[in-house]
Structure 1
Amino acid sequence: MHLNYTSNIEESMFNVTDFNCSSSQQLLKTRGFYKIIWARENDINLTIDGYDFKLNTSHVLFCTPMNVVQIEKGQAGAVALVFNREFYCIRDHDHEVSCNGILFFGSSLPRVISLNEKEKTSYNMMFQILLDEFQTKDTIQGEMLRVMLKRILIKSTRLIKLDITQPQLSTIKIDIIRRFNVLVEEYFKEKHQVSDYAAMLNKSPKTLSNLFKMYSDKTALTFINDRIITEARRLLLFSDKTSEEITYILGYNDPGHFSKFFKKQVGASPTEFRKNVNSKYDKN
């Protein structure tokens, strides 16, 4: 299955696919696409930024344009919504869906939600309406597809908030966390300390740390470190840049210091990590 909407005027694109055809596989190789992947009927095996990942049945995964996703053909039961910024920009339309920094760019790893029976029924209804809109070729088709995408994003954002350590966390406090996550995405290559982001948010580092205790089982510093490591992994796996070059790209002045930091987080030095992963793929 591969349904496609494009607008040459806007340069926008929206796809619904199961990744079992060549054209949909090409979407995975093309940069600039948000990807919402739903294991609708079966478990799905995929690779994200070099990590092997199993998406369980009735779970929904949210990937940013930065995530490198690989899914082998032949896996039944998955469905994905794939769209570019021109179709719907998460950042520019955050006032509509409030998902920037929580559903997307809210963690170094893509966010996942689990659907119960009631929620599966709701998602199936929205998905069916979406499929119907793909069959209606008129001047407002693009806007109707955007309306359905927004409904899915709003519903998903509400569900993911239920996984917060303290679900009753006020909207104001959640917005501080969201702003922190967005700032980390923008500045992680140059700002590595909680105090850097606390200053930009006009909060004390202690206030920010206390907020994270209510929001997640991860600390604010862990979020920063995870984002740095994720980028390092991507560069090691999907570029030919040296460990030293990656050190400077990520805002570190001493390759030895960065190597120790990477090894503490990953369990291997950058050079060892690249060698081990390449060896694994060579064997396959």
Structure 2
Amino acid sequence: MNAIATSTVTRSRAVEQVVSGVATSDGAGVKLTRVLTQPLQRRLDPFLMLDAFGSDRPDDYIAGFPDHPHRGFETITYMLAGRMRHRDSAGHEGLLEAGGVQWMTAGRGVIHSEIPQQQEGLMEGFQLWLNLPARDKLCAPWYRDFAAGDLPRFTTGMGVEAIVIAGESHGVAGAVSREATAPLYLDVHLPAGARFEQPLPVFHNAFVYVYRGEARIGERTVPAGRMAILANDAGSDGVVLEAAGDTRALLIAGQPLGERIVQYGPFVMNSEQEIYQAIGDYREGRLAS
């Protein structure tokens, strides 16, 4: 849908910290920036990781992400440009194209690959890891592709366009909802001089990643390529983004699980023993069975 929407925030959250991210590589050498790193997992519970990737150099991405396992969480891949093919051990296959989202619940275990379907040009996007509660760590794997045209969106009276990947914003329900973590995932496009107000539950952890232009949040200006962690201020009821020039940003928030986080590479569980079990299951071919 594409509707005109309004909403108000009486007091915006402040920026607690601005994070630059860490340049790294993953898969078969895909170059990326790890914005939400492991030391921030507890602070930004239920989110475990955010990677930003973008390059028009094929050597930076062409090898993609060959077969690799996951257990215990969900991955949300959002493509701004390029094409990536997904195949997994649960029998799912899909082609993720520009503007689309791939949502995968690894649950008890899945082995999958993500391979670029292009030899040249720009590939750009994000992958977010969302934790599963202990009760759902070993649930059945799930997968869904959403083309750009399938994603709900709305426009505010100031001309701000928001794509609602998860949760609800300004009365518009997103493509996916989750009861335990209640994730909100918005891609917000602000024209010059516009502002965007998003109510947030005070106990939800939230952050903004600016990927074009720069956003002003309270007294802080957040440039492109930076993540702003929003303070959990009991007196605030949401966040206000303002833009002097054309700006695009991800606004992500969720209900913390408050559970122990134990990660070993592609496995995220609640105890060391569960990690040992995941490693053993993978080595012995049981992880994706």
Task: Output the TM-score relative to the length of structure 1.
Answer: 0.34
Larger Rg: 1
Which structure shows the higher strand fraction?
A: 2
